[in-house]
Structure formats: structure tokens, C-alpha cells
Amino acid sequence: MTTTQFSTELRGQYKTKAYAASNATSPLVPFTIPRRNPGERDVHIEILFCGICHSDLHQVRNEWSSVPTVYPCVPGHEIVGRVTKVGSAVTKFKPGDYAAVGCLVESDGNCTECRAGLEQFCPHVTFTYNSPDVHLGGVTYGGYSDSIVVKEDFVLRVPSNLNLAGAAPLLCAGITTYSPMRHWGVNKDKKVGVVGLGGLGHMAVKLAHGLGAHVVVFTTSTNKKEDALRLGADEVVISRDPDQMHKHVGSFDFILDAVSTEHDINAYIQLLGRDGNITITGSPNKPYAISAVNLLIKRRSISGSLIGGIAETQEMLDFCGKNNITADVEIIPIQKVNEAYDRLSKGDVKYRFSIDMASLKSQ
Ligand code: NAP
Ligand code: ZN
């Protein structure tokens, strides 16, 4: 018996359908991937919907020099599905339950970050795709697939009133915008700006509105004005218009920047009031140039934020359940994923693609 056979037998695995990219310029095509057989603490999930995040596009096209893509790459970290099997030690889920998985599937569980509920910063975190797979070797494969096996601790409950296709994007776009707003104390007394009305941005508007804030959307797209107001914005600013921008100088408590490409951050820093903060969630590869003087004046700060921990993700889902918040989605079959990527790169989606994974079964 070879070592490979032994290790395969020891861990146990099965094959499942997926869509993968084989290099930075290739389309996503049907591909078969291995998943581990569920262990005693694992939950086996049949994937029903998976959102398409702009990070999927960055990663598939290998646009991040700090996180090189390992091919073949199966993206997808906005996963909602049905539990089909559970291990003997699983207590929170049973077959038939709806369940969700976001950007994280594993961490060491005992470092400072994990103990603080910030698993996303654990030095041994495993992301849902493009991370070393500690069980099977190779890299992890994401949600553009039929099924996934995840440790119970990283599986979330989906409130029963939420539409599943619209709930999927909460697992990344939702938590990525909710977490910094909670961290920076967004509430009914705060004036909050949201820059970029895309997948993240539109969730930020709904969540900030749900938290009671006065919400101002900054968009480059004049045709998104009505949508922004419908989604919960109190005001909309066309960011290419200096007069409209100028009216808000020095007035914001908090601004969340969710733009996917490089742009002038200083235009937003000057809109912050004393001790105001701008948090960057968008992740273009090119560094930003920041005006120091703009930060010194009024003791403003700039920070970043990366998704959120597991407990906070559940808190966000429960908040969305209570306030009936889901993403505005365009549901597509997996066969249209490449078209969706082209459209996403042009900003042509209102406001998230959600893949109906039933379409993969007929592949
Ligand atoms: P998206 O749906 O493509 O939205 C991006 C928005 O940015 C667009 O809708 C557009 O809004 C605005 N925009 C695009 N090009 C612009 C330009 N040249 N100048 C100004 N604004 C522009 O993307 P997404 O899925 O929301 O993701 C946004 C970014 O967040 C991506 O970089 C993604 O990788 C990152 N991300 C980070 C985290 C994290 O944990 N930090 C998590 C998920 C995603 P308007 O039309 O309104 O101007
Ligand atoms: Zn994402």
C-alpha cells in the first residue's frame, strides 16, 4: 500500500461536483473535487445557494499579490444549504436543518484571537477556499460545488424567515459590513457614510439603517440613486460631483468604504468629523496614498476590517432575521457564472449574484 492510498483510506473522502478556474485567465468550468467524509464533529451540507463576492473575482484572477491563487481554484464563501449528515459528536445541527458557511472553516481555537472570538485573525485560520486543507492536503475548495463538510463550530444557523438565496450573501457581504459598524459603535445617533453601492455597499446600507443610523450613500453611478433610497439611505451623493461632496465636509462619525478598485480615499477622509473613522473593506491590490494632514485635523482615523468572527456572524444573521434583512439578489444557474463575472467586473449587478446550486446537479 502506498502512503497516498493509506492517507486516503485513513481520512476517507468522496468526490463531488464543482466549478473551478485552472488559471488567472481561464473561465470557470465543471470540475470534480474531493471532500472529506464527515468526522465526529463535522456537518455535511448540500449547498443550495452560493453568492458571488468580488473577492471571488479578485482571487480567481490572481489579483492579490499577498494571497496568490492556487489552481485549480473553486471559489465561493457565501454558502447556504441543507444539512444532510452529522458526526456523532455534533449537537447543534441535525439532518434537514438549514445551515450556512462563510469565509472561515477552521482555526486553532486556542490562540488570543480565537479566544476573543476573532477567528478570522487566527494565525492558523483556514479560509473556505484557497487555504491549505489540513485534512486532505492541497487547498480548500469553496462553495461553487454540490456539497461541503465543515466542523460544527464554523457552521451558522439561518433564521427560518429569511429567503435562502438572499441570505447567502450575508455570510460575507453581511458580516464584512456589520462587524466594523458594531466595532465603531454605529447607532441611531451616528451619521454613517457608505462608499460604493455594490454587494458589500448595499448590505452596509441595509444594516446601518437597521441599526438606526443616518445613512448617506456615495456612488459613482447616477442610476443607483433611487435604489439607494429604497435600500434605506437617507441621502445619496454622486461622488464625482465636488459640490455635493463639499456639503458633507467634517460631518461624519463613520464611513465604510466598500469600493473594489483604487480611488481617492482623501476625498472621504475630509468628510469625517472629530474622531471620525473611515474603515476600508474593499481590497484593491494597489496601495492608497493618504494625506497625513487630513488625518491630523480632527484626530481622524483610518482602519481596515476583515469579515468577522463566528459568534459575530451568528449575531449578524440573527439581527437580519429579526429585521428581515437579506441581500437583493439576481439568481443564476452555475452555467452562467462566467457571464456573471464579466458583469460583476463592470458593476452590472443589483446587487449580488446568488448561484442556484441545483443547476449543478444537471451538469
Ligand atoms: P462589487 O459588488 O463589485 O461593488 C463594488 C462597488 O465599488 C461598485 O458597485 C461601485 O459602486 C464601486 N466602484 C467600482 N469601481 C469604482 C471606481 N473606479 N471608483 C469608485 N467606485 C467604484 O464588490 P463587492 O463584492 O461589494 O466587494 C467590494 C470590495 O470588498 C472588493 O474589493 C472585495 O474583494 C472586498 N471585500 C472585502 C472583504 C473584507 O473582509 N474586507 C470581504 C468581502 C469583500 P458605485 O457604482 O456605487 O460607485
Ligand atoms: Zn466575500
Count Cβ atoms below 10 Å from residue 299 Cβ, excluding itself: 11
Residues with CB under 5 A from ligand 2 (ion): 53, 55, 172
Q: 235: which strand partners?
A: 216
Protein residue closest via CA to atom 17 of ligand 1: 261
Which residue in this structure is represented by grid cell 464543482? 18
Q: In this predicted structure, what is the pLDDT of residue 4?
A: 31
Protein residue closest via CA to atom 35 of ligand 1: 282
Q: In this predicted structure, what is the pLDDT of residue 362?
A: 83
CB 310 within 8 A of CB 154: yes
Handedness of CA 63, 64, 67, 68 (dihedral sign): positive
Enumerate residues 6+ apart whose C-beta is below 8 A from 2: none
d(CA 104, CA 77): 8
- Give pairs for 209-218: CB < 8 Å, separation 24+: 209/233, 210/319, 210/320, 210/323, 210/325, 211/181, 211/186, 211/187, 212/187, 212/188, 213/181, 213/186, 213/187, 213/188, 214/190, 216/191, 216/192, 216/248, 216/252, 217/193, 218/193, 218/194, 218/245, 218/268
Protein residue closest via CA to atom 31 of ligand 1: 260
Ligand 1 atom nearest the C-alpha of 58 is: 34
Asked whether 307 lines ligand 1 (CB < 6 A), one says yes
Q: In this predicted structure, what is the pLDDT of residue 363?
A: 77
Protein residue closest via CA to atom 34 of ligand 1: 55
Asked whether 53 lines ligand 1 (CB < 6 A), one says yes
Ligand nearest to the CA of 78: 2
Which residue in this structure is represented by grid cell 483510506? 9
Asked whether 197 lines ligand 1 (CB < 6 A), one says yes
Measure 284 CA to ligand 2 centroid, in angstroms: 13
Q: In this predicted structure, what is the pLDDT of residue 47?
A: 98
Measure 195 CA to ligand 1 centroid, in angstroms: 9
Protein residue closest via CA to atom 46 of ligand 1: 221
Measure 115 CA to ligand 1 centroid, in angstroms: 31
Q: In this predicted structure, what is the pLDDT of residue 1?
A: 29
Q: H or E stretch including 268?
A: helix 266-269
Q: In this predicted structure, what is the pLDDT of residue 144?
A: 98
d(CA 169, CA 49): 9
Ligand 1 atom nearest the C-alpha of 345 is: 3
Closest to 209 (Cα-Cα) out of 234, 174, 182, 236: 234
Q: In this predicted structure, what is the pLDDT of residue 180?
A: 98
Asked whether 220 lines ligand 1 (CB < 6 A), one says yes
Measure 282 CA to ligand 1 centroid, in angstroms: 6
Which residue in this structure is represented by grid cell 454605529? 186
Strands 147-151 and 214-219: unpaired
Asked whether 345 lines ligand 1 (CB < 6 A), one says no
Taking the model in full, what pTM does it have? 0.96
Q: In this predicted structure, what is the pLDDT of residue 11?
A: 64
Ligand 1 atom nearest the C-alpha of 217 is: 47
Enumerate residues 6+ apart whose C-beta is below 8 A from 362: none
Asked whether 179 lines ligand 1 (CB < 6 A), one says no
CB 327 within 8 A of CB 354: yes
Q: In this predicted structure, what is the pLDDT of residue 306?
A: 98
User: For the chain, what is the total number of helices (H) and then of strands (E)?
Assistant: 13, 17
Residues of the chain with pLDDT under 70: 1-11
Q: In this predicted structure, what is the pLDDT of residue 3?
A: 31
Q: In this predicted structure, what is the pLDDT of residue 285?
A: 86
